[in-house]
Structure 1
Amino acid sequence: MTGALGPRIALISAMTTLIAGVVGLVLTLVLSAFVFDDFDAYGEIPIPGSGRVQLPAGEATINFHTAVPGGTDGGFPVPPLKIGIDAPDGVPDPVLTEGIGSTTSVNNDVHVRIWTLDVAQDSVYDVRTDGPVGGYINPRLAFGRDSSPQWALWGSGGLIALGLLELAVAIPWWVRAGRRARQAPGPVII
């Protein structure tokens, strides 16, 4: 394409792709935090306390779950917690990995992922919890899963990268198209 039409179409396409990627990324992050996060899908155990949890084979998340009287402006302090998980006879012990996640707060209900649990076999596990939780309202450990679609995050990131690449090509093309030599007007007779 020649003239100003080709660069204009390329620039509009680049901006549309970039905007779609950013909107997709924001939407994916919001949905992951509030819709796809089944942080308490397998049950909750009070702190301090004990109980039984049915866990499927695979990865599970363990979240510190409590209520707060106000908002969580800034960081949310997680106390040093203790957990003991006993597998039934003949079942391998699950592998516990610490990994503090982001804080999610909805209507003064707060949860923070603090551990990831790799469960080898579907079974009922005995769980013991303890820790200095005197200042928290109804503290408990919630066992759940993160069912966020990872493809949406990667797709949004890919659209953003593609939009930036298109923009890097379209802007110089648009600038060069605007600076083409123009013919001088012919002589003017008065």
Structure 2
Amino acid sequence: MTGRVGPRVALAGAIIALVTGVVGLVVSLLLNVFVFDDFDAYGEVPIPGSARLHLPAGEATISFHTAVPGGVSGGFPVPALQLGITPPGGAPEPVVTESVGATTSVNSDVRIRLWTVQIPEDGVYDVAVRGDVAGYINPQLAFGRDDSPWWLVWAFGGLIAAGVASLVLAILWRLRSPRAVRDMAAPVNLDELTWPGPVPPPVHGYEPTGPGQVPPPVHSYEPTDTDVRLEQLKTLAALRESGALTDAEFEAEKRRILRS
């Protein structure tokens, strides 16, 4: 593309990519937090307390879950907790790994992921939790799963980066591209006469239309000898004033004109 069409197309494409990336990133984050993160899918254990939970084989998330009137807007303090998971008879011990996540607050419901656990076999597990939770409202330890497609977040983040880079390049391209040259207005010919309105009819010469009609006389001016001499004397005077004739030459020519 040439001219300024190419920069405009590139600028529009960069803006579309940037807007798409921002909207997609926000939507994917919301879906990951509120839709795909099923934090209490396998049940909850009161703190302090114990419960028997059916846990499938694979990875599960363990989150601290409580209620806070008005929700939270920043960091959330988590009490020190002690967790024990007893597998069914003959099953290997689950592997618990610390994995603190972000705080999620919906109205007065607050949760934060503390651990992930690898369950070796599907079965019913005995879970016991201890800790000082004085001041917390209905504190519980929730077991669930996180099926969030985090690759979407990275994909839209990359799209945002590409959109920003494309926007900068498109702006530079637009600034450096030559401006469109406008056609000059057609030149006006001053030699041509123009008439503001209808063209008047042509003026025809007078011709007699019948016998006995005499056309009006046409008067013409013919200069006399005196007029001719006066013009010649004026010309001589102008030549003397300009320095083309000396005084002697002027006097000689003047006498010749007056004698003729």
Aligned mates of 1:90, 1:189 — CA distance in 2: 108
Q: Distance in 1 between matches of 2:81 and 2:181?
A: 72
Q: What's 1:40 paired with?
A: 40
What are the residue-to-residue correspondences of 1:14-93 with 2, within 5 Å?
14-93=14-93
- The alignment partner of 1:35 has SS state of helix
Structure having the higher strand fraction is 1
Look up the equivalent residue of 2:151 and give its one-letter code. W
- Does the CA-based 8 Å contact 2:82-2:129 persist in structure 1? yes
Equivalence for 1:149: 149
Deviates more, 1:76-85 or 1:166-175: 166-175
The 2-side partners of 1:31 and 1:22 are apart by 14
Task: Give secondary structure in 1 for the equivalent of 2:40.
Answer: strand
What whole-Å deviation, never above 9, does each CA across 1:16-75 have from its counterpart, x for those lacking one?
101100110011111111121100000000000001111111111000001112321321
Counterpart Cα distance in 1 of 2:131 and 2:56:
26
How far 1:84 moved relative to its partner? 0.3
Q: Please list, as runs of the form range in 1=range in 2, the aligned pairs for 1:112-127 lying within 5 A after superposition.
A: 112-127=112-127
Name 1:5's counterpart in structure 2.
Answer: 5
Secondary structure of 1:75's counterpart equals: coil
Identity %: 61
Taking the aligned partners of 2:184 and 2:172, their CA distance within structure 1 comes to 25
| Higher deviation after alignment, 25-34 or 174-183 | 174-183
1:106 and 1:130 map into 2 onto residues whose CA distance is: 26
Alpha-carbon offset, residue 139 of structure 1: 0.6
Q: Distance in 1 between matches of 2:143 and 2:188?
A: 85
Q: How far apart are 1:104 and its partner, in Å?
A: 0.9
TM-aligned CA deviation for residue 159 of structure 1: 1.4
Residues 78 and 189 of structure 1, relative CA distance in 2, 3 Å threshold: farther
Structure 2 Cα separation of the partners of residues 70 and 172 of structure 1: 48
Give matches, 1:162-173, under 5 Å. 162-173=162-173
| RMSD, aligned CA | 2.2
Q: What TM-score, normalized by structure 1, do the two folds share?
A: 0.91
| Structure 1 residue 151: Cα displacement | 3.1
User: Separation in 2 of the partners of 1:53 and 1:12?
Assistant: 54
Q: Could you say if the C-alpha distance between residues 8 and 93 of structure 1 is closer, same or farther in structure 2, counting changes exceeding 3 Å?
A: same
Matched residue count: 190
Equivalent residue, structure 1, for 2:161: 161
Contiguous gaps of at least 5 residues in structure 1: none
Cα shift at 1:185:
9.7
Q: What SS does the aligned partner of 1:113 have? A: strand
- CA distance, structure 1, for counterparts of residue 117 and residue 178 of structure 2: 59
Which structure would you say has the larger Rg? Answer: 2
Alpha-carbon contact 2:63-2:115 (below 8 Å) kept? yes
1:138 shift after superposition: 0.7
Question: Is there any run of 5+ residues in structure 2 with no aligned partner, and where?
Answer: 191-260
After the TM superposition, list the runs of 4 or more consecutive aligned residues in structure 1 that deviate by more than 3 angstroms: 178-190
Q: Note the C-alpha offset of 1:88.
A: 1.4
Q: Which amino acid aligns with 1:80?
A: A
Q: Is the 8 A contact 2:4 2:180 kept in 1?
A: no
Native 8 Å contact 2:21 2:159 kept in 1: yes
